[in-house]
Amino acid sequence: MSARETDARRAARPGLGVGPIGIHLRRRAAWCAAGLVALLVVLIGWSTFTGTIDLPASRVWATLTGSGDSIEELVVLDHRFGRAVVAVLVGFALGCAGGLTQSITRNPIASPDILGVTAGAAATATLILTQPGLIDDPTQASSILAPAALLGGLATTGLILAIGWRGGFSGVRLILVGIAVNALAGAVTTWLLTRAELDTAAVAARWLVGSLDAARYDDLAVLLPVIGLALGAVLILSRDVGALRLGRDVAGALGTPPIRTEALALLVAVGLAAVTTAYVGPISFVAFVAPQAAMRLFGTAGPPPIAGGLLGAALLLAADLVSANLPTPLPVGIVTAVVGAPFLLYLVIRHTRRTSV
């Protein structure tokens, strides 16, 4: 069966219309979304009720309902529950960002981390982290790192577009330019680390792996509104982004302005990737894996940003639970890399076989 016939069959399946914005959920997608939400609730509960500090479930529940002492509130609310919710928000943001970039480029490996956007944000944040006396502890640096990472991500995106834009996005050209920019940003980051003092470089190097160790409940004050606004933008753009999967000419014929849609979607994706990088470091492969896995799970014709966000949230929180419960705890970025690297190889091999046939 050809890809066009498969897409037509998917589009013909019965579904549920949700809201005035034009989101169309089929029954399979609705069940998958409900299952992912239920999984997230279970994972958040597991993360909240378990940890290295032994607390009875009754005391954890008492703390959640406002009856805990100050130490229990610090452990349960700030460290466990806050970290779990930050993981959900960051994973959702990365999954959405990856779904947007993969949709507008029509390339399955065009995620912010592979395109170099995350590396540019990380290089800018590393510049801030390694300045003597400016920031001693990255756990207290989010207010400075967030705008710096956003500027770095936007600057990197501007460089990628300046080199790779030819009246529109070409998936292959954008990937090649992104890989080059990624390498350049990585070289800048390495140079900054070699010039920094040993203690500062060690702190920055751990942050660069991608870690939720510094995630706290207070981070939600910024992450919630930023990701909420981005989610609204994704919902508004969802129909036009879906049309772009058919090609720029077809999308234009359907009434979608291709250039404006691509620019807005890319801006939202860059903002999501840069802000999350500022808070938890450059966590790799979530933005790449989640939309592709969601496309297969939900049975959609292209990488769905919202569904990719749900799967990204579950993936990152599960990876954090695994990394925290290993005999030697690891940064969550290492676990996501272990999962994502084989998936990238699978996609490359699969694409090679399809093009050779």
CA dist., res. 190 & res. 39, Å (int): 38
Q: How far apart are CA 236 and CA 264, in angstroms?
A: 11
Which pLDDT value is given to residue 58?
84
pLDDT of residue 318: 93
**Is 23 among the domain residues?**
no
Q: How many Å is the Cα radius of gyration of the chain? A: 21
User: Is the Cα torsion angle 161, 114, 259, 97 positive or negative in sign?
Assistant: negative
For the stretch 29-61, pLDDT in tens is 888 889 999 999 999 999 888 877 778 888 888
Instruction: Give the model's pLDDT for residue 6.
Output: 47
**Looking up tokens 């009434």, which residue turns up?**
255
Range of the domain at 222: 32-44+59-344
Residue 23: its H or E element: strand 23-26
Is residue 317 in a domain? yes
**Residue 341: predicted pLDDT:** 80
Query: By the 8 A CB rule, do 333 and 282 touch?
Result: yes
With respect to residue 214, please indicate whether it lies within any of the assigned structural domains: yes
- Asked if residue 349 is part of any domain, the answer here is no
Q: Does 22 fall in a domain?
A: no
CA 93 from centroid of its chain's CA atoms: 5
Closest CA to 291 of 24, 155, 104: 104
pTM for the full predicted model: 0.84
Residue 299 φ then ψ, to 5°: 70, 35
Query: Does 170 reside within a domain?
Result: yes
Q: Is 139:145 a contact under the CB 8 Å cutoff? A: no
For the chain, list residues with pLDDT below 70: 1-25, 132-143, 166-171, 351-357
Give the integer Cα–Cα distance in Å for 350 and 87: 31
Please report the pLDDT score of residue 11 as a whole number. 39
The reported pLDDT for the residue numbered 87 is 92
Q: How many structural domains does the chain have?
A: 1
In a domain, 357, yes or no: no
The reported pLDDT for the residue numbered 170 is 64
Length of the chain: 357
Write out the two tokens for 299: 């049975």
Whether residue 4 is contained in a domain is answered as no
Q: How far apart are CA 311 and CA 289, in angstroms?
A: 9
Q: What is the pLDDT of residues 243-284, one digit of tens each?
A: 887 777 777 787 778 888 888 888 899 889 888 888 888 888
pLDDT score at 7: 45
Give the whole-angstrom CA distance, residue 325 versus residue 148.
32
Q: State the CATH number of the domain containing residue 239.
A: 1.10.3470.10
